[in-house]
A and B are shown apart, each in its own frame.
Chain A
Amino acid sequence: MTKKAISLGILALAVGAGSGAYAGPDDDSLVINDELEMVTETAAPAHMEGIDTIYSGWRFRTDETQSLQLDDFDNPAMLTVDQAIDAYSEVDGSENESCASCHGDVESFAGLSAAMPKVKDGNLVTLEDEINNCRSTRMGAEEWKWSGQDMQGMVALIGLQSRGMPVDVAIDGDAAPFWEKGKEIYYTRYGQLELSCASCHEENYGNMIRADHLSQGQINGFPTYRLKQARLISRHNRFRGCIRDTRAHTFAEGSDEFRALELYVLSRSNGLSVETPAVRQ
């Protein structure tokens, strides 16, 4: 593709986005199982400059997609969570341990996912890191692949224990350099299309990108059951998909770049409810 064709393509995208197709978040409220009220709209955290109000991605979806998250029975993500419940108490590896043998009831993880990733011993760690650390050092078991359904099922099960709590990741102190790095990635334009995360999710949320209704790219519902792939999708997998679509070489799942980006993007959800596991298109 020539340079001219590319810039025409970008122009078409920009015009399409600006041509009055704007349809912001809807006014629906998310109450799960008729009892758990979720915060899907709140004032943006102080560190955000370009946006005043943050909205859950749920508010940008059609009624049919939204309804899949209203009831835990209807939510197909729960099939994988069910499998994780079994895995949680299954002994695996050489040390004769299961998750349950150390951690007891999974409910003890309430609050954890609302504050992950966080810095431990100078490293930024995600829930996937913690799970694999337990598997290799405590259980003597094989590590799970980042986006495998066993891993993401467990991330979702642990995340579910914090569902309804406000996302509250720390961005200062030890976390500050990682957060700054994540912010830099967020605003960097990647790929032949020269798009940053902000190009779509800060400057154009509410607009249509072709037939897709752009959200703010909040990640408070991850791992998310995506109808497109019909399975639980990790945050890093979604990052990879977005960067790939800018026609760029992308970072790997589990890379330091994506850990930093995860912290930064999640800090943009500070104040929204943890929705894990959400359902999206």
Chain B
Amino acid sequence: MELTRRQTLLTAAGAAVAAVLPLRGYAAVEESVATFTGGVEPGSGGITLTAPEIAENGNTVPVEVSAPGAVAIAVFALGNPVPPVATFNFGPLAASQSASTRIRLAGTQEVVAVAKMADGSFVADRKEVKVTIGGCGG
């Protein structure tokens, strides 16, 4: 099949819509992600977000982000009342564009890491983290 320019554009638009769909309904999320990306839709690949599938307590959830060659990585918790979690800006003496921290998740939700690459492009990775509730009083 031979793609016309128009078809290519449509396909690209479709992919962009598909990529942005999971964020629909979270106006605050879209806004805060857009503040970081300047409205550019992030691609995929080149970034890894590591987070547990199940967190025993949402108060302290270990996460790690890594995006070789990134200038900065921002982390968002889509289900938190305030979605932005942290932004890591890497300086010239960073040996790798990676970092670990511990975060709060208000419940089971998707966590997204977005990296700004040196060429100005953006890539994202996401993980669903199930936050369990305690036994009796917790």
Q: Mark A52-70, 1 if CB is under 8 A from B, else 0.
A: 0000000001111101100
Within 8 A of A (CB), among B89-136: 132-136
Bound Cα distance from A214 to B61, whole angstroms: 20
Listed stretches B39-47, B51-59, B76-84; interface member: B51-59
- Return B62 CB to nearest CB of chain A, in Å: 5
Q: Are A62 and B54 in contact (CB under 8 A)?
A: yes
- Return A250 CB to nearest CB of chain B, in Å: 11
| Complex contacts, A210 vs chain B, CB 8 Å | 133-136
Q: Are B56 and A245 in contact (CB under 8 A)?
A: no
Q: Mark A151-175, 1 if CB is under 8 A from B, else 0.
A: 0000000000000000000000000
Assess whether B25 is interfacial by the CB under 8 Å rule: no
- Return A239 CB to nearest CB of chain B, in Å: 13
Bound Cα distance from A68 to B138, whole angstroms: 20
Counting chain B CB atoms within 10 Å of each CB, the highest count among A67, A244, A281 belongs to A281
Q: Are B134 and A211 in contact (CB under 8 A)?
A: yes
Q: Are A64 and B134 in contact (CB under 8 A)?
A: no
Q: Mark A62-101, 1 if CB is under 8 A from B, else 0.
A: 1111011000000010000000000000000000000000
Interface size of A in residues (CB-CB distance below 8 Å): 23
**Binding site secondary structure of chain B:** loop
> With A65-B56, A281-B57 known to touch, is A211 a contact of B132 (CB < 8 Å)?
yes
Assess whether B38 is interfacial by the CB under 8 Å rule: no
Q: Are B56 and A281 in contact (CB under 8 A)?
A: yes
- Return A75 CB to nearest CB of chain B, in Å: 12
Q: Are A245 and B59 in contact (CB under 8 A)?
A: no
Q: Are A212 and B134 in contact (CB under 8 A)?
A: yes
Which partner residue on chain A sits nearest B134 by CB separation? A212
If A67-B62, A200-B135, A211-B135 are given as contacts, then 17 extra A-B residue pairs at C-beta distance below 8 Å, sorted by A number, are A62-B52, A62-B54, A63-B52, A64-B56, A64-B61, A65-B57, A210-B134, A210-B135, A211-B132, A211-B133, A212-B132, A212-B133, A214-B135, A227-B60, A228-B59, A230-B59, A281-B57
Taking Cβ atoms with an 8 Å cutoff, the residues of A that contact B are 61-65, 67-68, 76, 200, 209-212, 214, 227-228, 230, 241-242, 244-246, 281
